Amino acid sequence: MIDAKLLRERKKKNAKKPKFRKQESWRYKRVKKPWRRPRGIDSRMRQKKKGLPKSVNTGYKGPKNTRNLHPLGYREVLIHNPDELVMINPDEEIVRIGHTVGARKRSQIIDNAANLGITIVNPIVPLELAELSETERIEDVEFEDFELSDLEEEV
């Protein structure tokens, strides 16, 4: 785990960082907010004119030794199966389970991590889906009761 002082320093530096916005996103609702580099030949934002939002720059980087860390101060490792837990160092690393991992393998990973003393960032298991079979899921859907004779009368 990284020293708490370094994490506070990173938080302080991030507070001073401007919110980078996509060009013209403040003007039009149809233009989404996430950052995209301005590319037009006459773009005032690309030319860094006064009075326009700041552009992304290397000068806004955080401290080198706290980059790419989880807010808890651990290095985050993405895993997809229980075998990958063996290589994790619980003192320095924290685990995130990949989003493509199914409920069965996810529950195995959670059990193995608990035995090894490893912290998981996203430990939620969709229990309802894991316990229900496909036929039970179909039966749960409510359909209106109707008879063929009712349909024939309408036609």
From CA 145, how far away is CA 10, in angstroms rounded?
Answer: 61
Any domain includes 146: no
pLDDT of residue 141: 47
Owning domain of residue 87: 74-127
Is position 39 within any domain? Answer: no
Residue 108, in any domain of the structure:
yes
**Cβ proximity of 96 and 119 under 8 Å:** no
Residue 152 lies in a domain: no
**Is residue 102 assigned to a domain?**
yes
What is the tally of structural domains in the chain? Answer: 1
Enumerate residue ranges in the chain where pLDDT < 50.
133, 137-143, 146
Alpha-carbon distance of 78 to 95, in angstroms, equals 6
Residue 138 lies in a domain: no
CA 90, CA 99: separation in Å to the nearest integer? Answer: 21
- Asked if the structure places residue 110 within a domain, the reply is yes
